[in-house]
Amino acid sequence: AAAPRVFSFRDARWVPDPVLEPSAAVRTPQPVPLVIDNGSFQTRAGWASADPAVPAEPLLRFRSLAARSRGARGGAGAETQVGNDLGSPEPLRWLLRSPFDRNVPVQLELQELLLDHVFQRLGVASQGCVDHPVVLTEAVCNPLYSRQMMSELLFECYQVPKVSYGVDSLYSFYHNRRQNWPCSGLVISSGYQCTHILPVLEGRLDAKNCKRINLGGCQAAVYLQRLLQLKYPGHFAAITLSRMEEILHEHSYIAEDYIEELQKWRSPEYYENNVHKMQLPFSNKLLGSTLTSEEKQERRQQQLRRLQELNARRREEKLQLDQERLDRLLYVQELLEDGQMDQFHKALVELNMDSAEELQSYINKLSLSVEQTKQKILQAEVNIEVDVVDSKPETPDLDPLGSEQSLEDVESINEFEPLFAEEQPEAEKPVAAVQPVFNLAEYHQLFLGTERIRAPEIVFQPSLIGEDQAGIAETMQYVLERYPKEQQAILVQNVFLTGGNAMYPGLKARVQKELLEMRPFQSSFQVHLASSPVLDAWYGARDWAVEYMTREEGWITRKDYEEKGGEYLKEHCASNVYVPIRLPKQAPRTTEALAPSRTLTSSAGNPCEQV
C-alpha cells in the first residue's frame, strides 16, 4: 500500500458576497419568485425562473451567522456583519450569533439581518418593499409561533406579495423524483443540528409518525474537537471547530460495521496505510541555525548597534525631561531674584520644597545630570561612527568612558549576553553539524485514525457522547413498525438519504446493512442517495416555484395573512401539515347565574356587604 499522505489545513477565508445585478428577466413580464433555503448551517438564495437568462443555481451561499463588532464605549461605532462578510469565524467565535435554536428560527432580529443581506446582495431594486414572491424552507413540524413571526416579518417588514413554506428535505425528495419512483418513501434527512425520519405516503408527509434525533454535524464537530484536544493537549488552541468541520467534510467516513472497522484499526499495518496526518501551521525558527560565522558576527553587530540606538533614545528622553524640570526650577529662582515673594512661596509649595537652599541644591544636581547626559549622547554618536568604519570582528565597546557608563546601560547589555553567548562563532565545528533535536513538523501533525469514524458514528450511536437517544437505525425501525406490513414494504422500496451528513462516504452502505438486519428474510428494499444532498433542497424549491408560479395552490397571500393570521399555512406536496390552533370556547353566562347577583346588588345597601 502507498505511504500515508500529509494533509494541510486550508483555513480558507470567506470571500464577501458582491452586490449582484439581476437580469431583466427577473422583473418582466412579472416578478419571479425568490427562493431561500433557510438552513441552520448555511443560507442559499437565488431566483426561480424558466428563462435561460436567469441562473438555475443559488447565487448566494453563506453561513447563517451574524456578529456585532466591538465598537467604542457606549455602542458607538459597532458594526454588524453577516455570513461571508465575517471573513473567518474563529476570531469572532464568542461573538457569533445564530437565529436558530436547533433548526427552528427563534431570534427574529438576527433573521431580519440575514434576509436584509439576501435582498441587498441579490440586487432587489424595489423601493420600500420586496415585490417578489418568496419561497422559504422551514423545519419539519415547525412550531406555529415560529411561522407566525416569520410571516409577520415578511409581510409587515418587507411587504412581500405572497409566500410559500416548505420542508427542505421534502423539496430534495421532490427534486430527485424519477419516472420509476413511487410517490411514497422514507426520507432520512441528517443536517447540521438534527436528523429526521420522515414517512411520505402517496406524495404527502405523514406528520404524525415523523421522528427527530437531536444530533447532527454540529455535535459531531464538537465531539471530534474534544477527542483531538485530549489526544494532543499541546495543540489545544490550534484544534478549532472550523478545522474539525474541515476534517469531517473531507477525511471522515461512516463504517459499514463499526465494531469490525475498529478491529481493523488495531492492526499496525492497517493503521499505517489508512491514517491521515493533518499538518498544523508552525514556525521553522526553532529548527536550528544554518548561518555562517561571518553572518553570525554581522548579526551580532547589528544587535549591538540596535542596543546603542535604544540607549541613545533613552538618554535623549531623559535629557528632555531633566531640561524641562531644570527650566521650571530656574524660573522659580528668578521669582526670588525679582523680589516676587508671594509667587515664589506658592511655587515652592507646588514643588514640595521648604527653602531657597533646597531649591538651589536641586538646581545644581539637575544641571550636573544634564551636562553628563549631553556628554554621553555626544560620545555615543562618536562610537556609532567608529563602529561603522571599523570592520574588525572584535566586540566594540558600548561606552569607552568606563567611569561614566550608566547603570541601566550595563543592565541592558547583560540582558543580551545569553543571546550573544548562543551565537558565538565556532570555527572548529562545521555548520552542517547543527541538527534539530526532533522533527518539529511531525510534532505539529494530528494523526487521524479511529477518529475518522468515531465522530460520524454518533448519529447511529448517540450513547458515544452520552446522549440518551435512539440512533438512525432504531428510529427507522420504530417508524416502520407503526405501519402495517403492506405499507412497510412500500416505504422501504424508496429510502431516500439527503442532508449535509449524507455526504459521508459509506452512509448508503450502512443504511442498507441496517435495513437488511431489520427487514424479513428475502424481502426487498432500495436506498437512494440525493444527487446533491446539500443543494437539492434549493433545487427542489426552485422546481416547485417554477411549476406553481401561476397557481394559487401553496401560496399564502397578504389577504390570507390578514384574515387567518401569521401561523396559517397552505399545504402542498412539499409542505408541513397545517394544524390550526383550537382554543376552547367559553361557556356563555346564563340569565339564571346572573339573577342572584342582581338581587344581591339591589337588596344590599351597604357597599362593604356587597363586596
The tens digit of pLDDT for each residue in 323-341 reads: 888 888 888 888 888 888 8
**Structure pTM?**
0.71
Q: 588 or 539: which carries more pLDDT confidence?
A: 539
Distance, C-alpha 116 to centroid of its chain = 20
**Statement: residue 403 has pLDDT above 80:** no
Task: Give the span between the Cα atoms of 457 and 449, in whole angstroms.
Answer: 14
Work out the widest C-alpha separation in the chain, in whole angstroms: 124
How large is the average pLDDT for residues 590-595?
Answer: 47
Question: What is the pLDDT averaged over residues 531-538?
Answer: 95
Dihedral sign for Cα 191, 193, 197, 201, please.
Answer: negative
- Classify burial at 575, counting beta carbons within 10 Å of its beta carbon; exposed 0-12, middle 13-18, buried 19 or more: buried
Q: Is the alpha carbon torsion for 540, 543, 545, 551 positive or negative?
A: negative
Residues 151-174 as b or e (16 or more Cβ within 10 Å = b): bebbbeebebebbbbbbbbbbbbb
What's the average model confidence in pLDDT over 349-361? 84
Asked if 583 contacts 575 with a C-beta cutoff of 8 angstroms, the reply is no
Which of 70-74, 171-175, 198-202 shows the lowest per-residue confidence on average (mean pLDDT)? 70-74
| H-type alpha helices, 338-406 | 341-350, 356-389
Position 432 scores a pLDDT of 47
How many beta carbons lie within 10 A of that of residue 392, not counting itself?
6
| Alpha-helical segments (H) within 25-154 | 108-121, 144-152
- Render pLDDT for 94-139 as a digit per residue (tens, 0 to 9): 788 999 998 999 999 999 999 999 999 999 877 788 999 999 999 9
The chain-wide mean pLDDT, for the chain, equals 83
Has residue 259 got a pLDDT over 50? yes
pLDDT (0 to 100) of residue 77: 57
Q: What is the pLDDT of residue 385?
A: 56
What is residue 404's predicted lDDT score, i.e. its pLDDT? 42
Instruction: Calculate mean pLDDT across residues 146-164.
Output: 94
Strand partners, 134: 34, 163
Percentage, residues of the chain above pLDDT 90: 55
The pLDDT of residue 365 is: 87
Nearest 5 degrees, angle CA 266-CA 268-CA 271?
80
CA distance 304 to 415: 12
Q: Is residue 196 pLDDT above 80, yes or no? A: yes
Model confidence at 502, in pLDDT bands (50, 70, 90)?
very high
Distance CA 549, CA 510 (A): 39
Cβ-contact 456, 190 below 8 angstroms: no
Q: Measured in Å, how far apart are the chain's first and last C-alpha atoms?
A: 94
pLDDT digits (tens, 9 = 90+) for 452-475: 999 999 999 999 999 999 999 999
pLDDT band per the 50, 70, 90 thresholds, residue 224 = very high
Whether residue 29 is preceded by a cis peptide bond, meaning omega within 30 degrees of 0, is yes
Cβ contacts of residue 257 below 8 Å, gap of 6+?
513
Do the beta carbons of residue 333 and residue 343 sit within 8 Å? no
Task: Please say if the pLDDT value at position 523 is more than 80.
Answer: yes
Is residue 492 predicted with pLDDT exceeding 90? yes
The full length of the chain comes to 611
The pLDDT assigned to 536 comes to 95
Rounded-to-integer distance, Cα 493 and Cα 182, Å = 8
SS3 category, 584: coil
User: Which residues make Cβ contacts (< 8 Å) with residue 423, sequence separation at least 6?
Assistant: 289, 296, 299, 300
Give the side-chain half-sphere CA count within 13 A for 280: 20
pLDDT value at residue 340: 84
- Per-residue b/e over 432-452, b at no fewer than 16 CB within 10 Å? eeeeeeeeeeeebbbebebbb
Helix (H) or strand (E) holding 190: strand 185-190
For 265-270, what is the mean pLDDT? 95
For residue 211, name the pLDDT band (cuts at 50, 70, 90): very high
| Residue-level pLDDT at 371 | 87
pLDDT at 421: 42
Kindly state the average pLDDT of the residues 331-360: 84
User: What is residue 405's predicted lDDT score, i.e. its pLDDT?
Assistant: 45
Q: What is the DSSP letter of 298?
A: H
Q: State the pLDDT confidence band at 545, using cuts at 50, 70 and 90.
A: very high
DSSP string, 234-265: GGTTT--HHHHHHHHHHH----SSHHHHHHHH
Tell me how far apart the alpha carbons of residues 3 and 272 are, in angstroms, rounded to a whole number. 8
Identify the pLDDT of residue 470.
95
pLDDT at position 499 over 80:
yes
Phi, psi of 331 (to 5 degrees): -65, -40
Highest mean pLDDT (candidates 244-253, 291-300, 429-438): 244-253
pLDDT (0 to 100) of residue 223 = 97
Task: Check residues 399 and 474 and name the one with the higher pLDDT.
Answer: 474
Taking the C-alpha atoms of residue 490 and residue 178, their distance in angstroms, rounded to an integer, is 16
Is 70 exceeded by the pLDDT of residue 28? Answer: yes
CA dihedral 327, 331, 333, 336 (to 10 degrees): 180
362-384 average pLDDT score? 82
pLDDT-based confidence at 220, cuts 50/70/90? very high
Q: Does the structure show a pLDDT above 90 at 389?
A: no
289 pLDDT higher than 60:
no
> Is the C-alpha dihedral spanning 583, 208, 175, 60 positive or negative?
positive
Place of cell 443555481: 57
